[in-house]
Amino acid sequence: MAHATFRIWRGRADSAGDFADYQTAVTDGMVVLDAVHQIQADQAPDLACRWNCKAGKCGSCSAEINGRPRLMCMTRLNTLDLAEPVTVEPMRAFPLIKDLVTDVSWNFKVKKGIRRFQPRPPDAPDGTWRMSQRDADRVQEFRKCIECFLCQDVCHVLRDHDKHEEFIGPRFLTYTAALEMHPLDAGDRLGDLKDAHGIGYCNITKCCTKVCPEHIHITDNAIIPLKERVVDRFYDPVTRLLRLFR
Ligand code: SF4
Ligand code: SF4
Ligand code: FES
């Protein structure tokens, strides 16, 4: 039976931590999460990892595999070079709890700071609304998000520049876009985007889009249209002049 080496990060928040190598048997159809579970069962019962669905839908098993943010349960071993050790480490944009588990609670705090869905008054006397299918389809893409936070992990504004207090990150720009572009929503989040939520920090590197397991076009369909709205509102001289007169 074939074997492969997994170089897994071991450590706690309060200790330095290091990689440890584990050899384990690999069979057809295995994913990285299977290998981690096998290592837990046979060699390292105290190895911490977070997972839930093993189907790419809960967003819990996010990690960095060979240096790239990915879901452990959706990374098949036959897509990796098993001649070399496969490195598995925790997301680096969030504080470590233990081994592969990070504290992602900052994201939940950020979400609470975004203005909620605010429906406009109903269109018909029976309390119902009308909207076009095209408008509904537009936001549907953003609703595929599984909150794995891989896009947050790869974004240099959070990861390298640690702007967690000033920038909400690609996941929550996508969430804001889903609200702002919702055909029934009457809320206004453009001022927040410009100031508290730091949309100006994003320089459209598209790294977030590249790692999204749901293939959401984060930059093209969410961030760029939001940036355009912010620019139109706050920086376009003609619009500003018109608003002044209005
Ligand atoms: S496109 Fe913007 S949000 Fe996405 S990774 Fe780059 S800087 Fe971050
Ligand atoms: S937008 Fe994509 S990468 Fe970001 S949290 Fe949602 S599913 Fe994960
Ligand atoms: S275990 Fe649910 S996404 Fe991987």
Ligand nearest to the CA of 58: 3
Centroid of ligand 2 to alpha carbon of 87 (angstroms)? 22
- The model's pLDDT over 171-220, given as tens digits with 9 standing for 90+, comes to 999 999 999 999 999 999 999 999 999 999 999 999 999 999 999 999 99
For residue 244, the model assigns a pLDDT of 65
For residue 161, the model assigns a pLDDT of 97
Centroid of ligand 1 to alpha carbon of 162 (angstroms)? 13
Centroid of ligand 3 to alpha carbon of 188 (angstroms)? 34
For residue 237, the model assigns a pLDDT of 76
Residue 42: pLDDT over 90: yes
- The model's pLDDT over 139-181, given as tens digits with 9 standing for 90+, comes to 999 999 999 999 999 999 999 999 999 999 999 999 999 999 9
174, burial (CB in 10 Å: exposed 0-12, middle 13-18, buried 19+):
buried
Residue 245: pLDDT over 80: no
Give me the chain's average pLDDT, please: 96
Return the ligand 3 atom nearest residue 51 CA: 1
Residue 238: pLDDT over 80: no
For residue 16, the model assigns a pLDDT of 87
246 vs 242: CA distance, rounded Å? 6
Residue 243: pLDDT over 80: no
